[in-house]
Amino acid sequence: MIVPVTDTLEYDASGLLCPLPVLRANRKLRELARGGLLTVRATDPAAEQDFPAYCRQTGHELVSSTRDGETLVFVIRKR
């Protein structure tokens, strides 16, 4: 069985404040094909609300949202 490979990118937005993490993630998502995954790491507390809102507004899928210490980790699937 052949399993298709999904494009993946990672972006570390640690230290950036709102709205930069979402703006930079949006730029990275443009590099991906439809269905590609972007993992974003952010330390701005506002990102916890910003990324879910961004995904709702743009139609991208927020696959997961987790916390690793002070770092928020979001996985977004491009629509």
Active-site amino acid positions: 18
Identify whether 21 is preceded by a cis peptide bond (ω within 30 of 0).
Answer: no
Residue 54: other Cβ atoms inside 10 A = 21
CA-based radius of gyration for the chain: 12
Q: Is residue 48 classed as helix, strand or coil in its secondary structure?
A: helix
CB 25 within 8 A of CB 11: yes
